[in-house]
């Protein structure tokens, strides 16, 4: 039975581990990604931000260097359970064409 989050997703997610930095008004978190799509990303962190938090995300893309993306925290998982890591799902917002192209190349 598919989970509700996967039913709501518009794009297919792929497993991808890259370094990330999440900045908000309240916090700065260094972590790694677990999976991503052209519309969002899941960041593994033991202390996820609150739902609705607006963030600036810096991703270090292999062969491309660092890209910055704005986003919003759409959901959180505070505890690790059933093999799923704690963290937060982030939806990308207002991405420029160059960044879209770089992310598109990465997730293909």
Provide the pLDDT for residue 66.
92
Closest CA to 45 of 13, 12, 20: 20
Domain boundaries, the chain: 4-107
pLDDT, averaged across the chain: 86
Contact 39, 101 (CB under 8 A): no
The torsion angle over the Cα atoms of residues 103, 57, 61 and 20, rounded to 10 degrees, is -140
* CA angle, 80 then 84 then 87, to 5°: 65
State the average pLDDT over residues 57-80: 91
Provide the pLDDT for residue 15.
85
Instruction: Provide the whole-model pTM.
Output: 0.83
Map residue 29 onto helix, strand or coil. Answer: strand
State the average pLDDT over residues 49-72: 93
Q: Is the pLDDT assigned to residue 6 strictly greater than 50?
A: no
State the average pLDDT over residues 30-45: 90
Confidence band of 10 (pLDDT split at 50, 70, 90)? low
Which CATH number does the domain 4-107 belong to among 2.40.10.220, 3.40.50.2000, 3.20.20.70, 3.90.1150.10? Answer: 2.40.10.220
């Amino acid at each position: 039975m598919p989970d509700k989050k996967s039913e709501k997703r518009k794009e297919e997610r792929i497993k991808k581990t890259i370094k990330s930095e999440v900045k908000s008004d309240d916090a700065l978190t260094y972590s790694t990604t677990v999976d991503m799509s052209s519309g969002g990303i899941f960041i593994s962190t033991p202390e996820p931000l609150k739902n609705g938090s607006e963030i600036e995300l810096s991703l270090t893309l292999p062969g491309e260097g660092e890209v910055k993306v704005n986003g919003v925290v759409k959901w959180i998982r505070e505890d690790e359970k059933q093999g799923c890591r704690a963290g937060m799902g982030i939806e990308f917002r207002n991405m420029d064409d160059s960044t879209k192209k770089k992310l598109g190349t990465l997730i293909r």
